[in-house]
Amino acid sequence: MLISRIRNAAAARLLPTRLYVERTYRARVGEALNLDNPVKFNEKLQWLKLYYRDATLPRIVNKIEAKNVVQEKLGIDRSVPTAAIFDRPDQIQLSNLPSALALKATHGSGWNIISRDKSALDLEQVRSYFRFWLGKNYYTYSKEWAYKDVPPRVICEPLLINRAGDLPLDYKIFCFNGKPYFIQVDFDRFVNHTRAFYDVFWRKQPFSIGYPLSKKNVDRPKQLDEMLVLARKLSAGIPFLRVDQYLLDDEVYIGELTVYPGNGMERFTDEDWNRKLGDLFELPSDSLK
C-alpha cells in the first residue's frame, strides 16, 4: 500500500497531466479515456479539467469566493452564512465559533471537520488537521484545474440543523449550459451510503453515480421551483455545474458550486446513463482540442 502511494505521488508530479489523467481514469473507471472525441459524462468532465479555462471557475471552487459569486449572480445573499475565516490553522479559536459547526479547507473537497458539539473537539487536533491539509494542493492529484491556485484557508460555517434536530437534505442539481436536468439526493452517508436521482418533474430515475441506487424515496421539496430558478441563474454560461442547495425547514441555502463532481471518475450503475448525461453536455466549441 505504501509503495503504491509513493508511486502514485511520483506519477502525479512527474507525468504529463493528460497522461496522468488517462492512467488514473483507466485505473478507477476500468476503461480507456476518450479525450479526442468525448461522448460520456465522465469523459467530458475530464476534458473540462484539462482544457476548459474560464476565469470564473477558480472563484466558484473557492469556498470563500463562491459566496461572492452567488451574491453577484442572484443579487441577494443565499449562501450558508460565514462564521469565521482563518488564514492559518493556528488562528482557529473554537471558543469564538458556533456550537454546531462545519470547518472546511477552502481550496479542496472533503477536507472538513463537522461537529454538532464543538466541546467534543480538541483544539490542537483541529489545528493539526488543517495544518496538514493547508499544506496540500488539491490539484496535484485531482488535476482539477480550477483548484490549482486557490489560496489555502479555513472557513467556518454554522452547521445547519432543522427544527426536528436533523441535518437538512442536500439537493445537488445537475445543470448543463444553464439548464437543470437532474437532482441528486444522498441517504445514510456514514452508514450505508446510497443515492437517488430525480428529474425536474420529481420523477425518480433508474440510475445512480458513485454509490448504489437507493430504494428510498423522498417527497418533492415544496421549494423545488425556487431551487431550479436559483440553479439556472448560477449555472448560466457554464458547460456543466452542479448547484448544491440545502432546504432548511422552508428556507433555501446555496451550499457549494461543484464543477467536477467525483473528479469525473465515479462509475454509473447503468452505463447507458453515462452516455445520456453526456449527450446533454455541450462542450465549448471555440476551445475544442
- The CA-atom distances, in angstroms, between 131 and each of 82, 101, 109, 127, 156 are 21, 19, 16, 6, 15
Q: Calculate ∠ Cα 282-274-12, nearest 5°.
A: 85
Identify whether the C-beta of residue 236 lies closer than 8 Å to the C-beta of residue 180. Answer: no
Q: Looking at 101, 131, 159, which one is the last position of a domain?
A: 159
Running along the chain, 289 residues long, what does each successive block of 10 average in pLDDT? 78 94 96 97 98 96 98 96 97 96 97 97 98 97 97 98 92 97 91 94 97 94 97 97 95 96 97 98 72
* Partner residues linked to 180 by β-bridges: 175
Residue 50: predicted pLDDT: 97
Cell of 118: 464543538
- Given a contact cutoff of 8 angstroms between Cβ atoms, the answer to whether 84 and 101 are in contact is no
**Alpha-carbon gap, residue 249 to 230, rounded angstroms:** 17
Answer yes or no: do 24 and 95 share one domain: no
For residue 109 the three cell numbers come to 473537497
Q: Domain check: are 241 and 288 in the same one?
A: yes
Fill in the DSSP letter of residue 161. -
Together in a domain, 48 and 100: no
According to the model, what pLDDT value does residue 286 have? Answer: 57
Question: Final residue of a domain: which of 159, 174, 192?
Answer: 159
The DSSP string of 76-143 is S--BPPP-EEESSGGG--GGGS-SSEEEEETTSSS-EEEES-GGGS-HHHHHHHHHHHHT--THHHH-
Domain boundary residue, one of 159, 182, 210? 159
Instruction: Mark whether 288 and 170 lie in a shared domain.
Output: yes
- The predicted structure's pLDDT at residue 98: 97
> Same structural domain for residues 143 and 240?
no
Residue 278 to residue 47: CA distance in whole angstroms: 12
**Distance from C-alpha of 62 to C-alpha of 140, rounded to nearest angstrom:** 16
Specify whether 47 is located in the same domain as 18.
no
Q: What is the pTM of this model?
A: 0.94
How many structural domains comprise the chain?
3
Looking at the structure, tell me whether residues 285 and 236 fall in a common domain.
Answer: yes
Residue 109 has what pLDDT? 94
Domain containing 123 equals 81-159
85 shares its domain with 74 = no
Q: What is the CATH number of the domain that holds 170?
A: 3.30.470
Residues 219 and 246 in one domain: yes
> Do residue 97 and residue 184 come from a single domain?
no
* Same domain as 142, residue 210: no
Which three three-digit cell numbers place residue 221?
A: 421539496
